Amino acid sequence: MFKCCKLIPVLLGGIIIQGKTFNRYDVLAAICMSLGLIFFTLADSKVQPNFNYYGVLLISGALCADAAIGNYQEKIMKQFHISNIEVVFFSFIFGFAFILMGLILTNNLYSSVIFWNQHPLQTYGYSLIFSIFGYLGIDVVLTLVREYGALIAVTVTTCRKAITIILSFIIFSKPFVLDYIWSGLIVVVGIYLNIYSRNQAVFNAKLINFYNRLLNLLSDRRRHRYHLTSSATSV
């Protein structure tokens, strides 16, 4: 649920890092996501006796770091005109370097290598599978954006996150309350407000087209009723 609300730190990071300005739909989307997250977290603390605020703090920090990286990536792509694959590659290379430095500084590198060697299937094997599917997932998202646009890509990734949340309740037998539903719906509204703000021309064109079709359909039905009434009167 928190990862669905990446827009909030991205919006703030865009203002601070790139000096961007955002429209009212972006701000309203951030407000909806913030409210949805607050209510979702309150519902979680209500049904989980061992609710850990430290976890919420960590995931919030991770989202802020993710947002900063995203804004710097966008800035670099625009400035140096590099491809998406290059950005992903160098982002993971720097991520690997930071993790390696953290392991060395905390003196956990040697013990980690020993643990991995003791459990090769659960470490090397699963990590390889995770890495392959992670790369394929990134490639699929980039392909969706390139071939079908951001609207379809965000819709697909949002559906994936919704399925992940549903599976977490099924697999881990978590307690469920109705607060989860309406707080999640508030987040979804925020997500699609953000999509609308990015694709206003497309949405407005589709709405106008739908409105015109509806008017044509109603006028056709009125003409049909008029002809039926006229035929009945003449008879």
For residue 101, is pLDDT > 70?
Answer: yes
Distance CA 187, CA 31 (A): 9
| pLDDT, tens only, 156-197 | 766 677 677 777 777 877 777 777 788 778 877 877 777 777
Closest CA to 79 of 18, 144, 163: 18
The pLDDT, as a whole number, for residue 128 is: 92
The pLDDT, as a whole number, for residue 211 is: 80
The pLDDT, as a whole number, for residue 213 is: 82
More confident residue, 124 or 175: 124
The alpha carbon torsion through 106, 110, 115, 121 (nearest 10 deg) reads: 110
For residue 129, is pLDDT > 90?
Answer: yes
Closest CA to 15 of 27, 29, 32: 27
When pLDDT is cut at 50, 70 and 90, the band that residue 153 belongs to is low
For all residues of the chain together, what is the average pLDDT?
76
Question: What are 53's two structure tokens?
Answer: 């605020």
Q: How many CB atoms lie within 10 A of CB 203?
A: 15
Query: Cα 32 to chain center, whole Å?
Result: 14
Distance CA 141, CA 156 (A): 9
CB neighbour list of residue 121: distance below 8 Å, 6 or more residues apart: none
Distance CA 156, CA 151 (A): 9
Distances (CA, A) of 152 to 54, 73, 181: 35, 22, 23
pTM beyond 0.85: the answer is: no
| pLDDT, tens only, 11-65 | 777 777 777 777 777 778 778 877 777 777 777 767 766 667 787 788 888 877 7
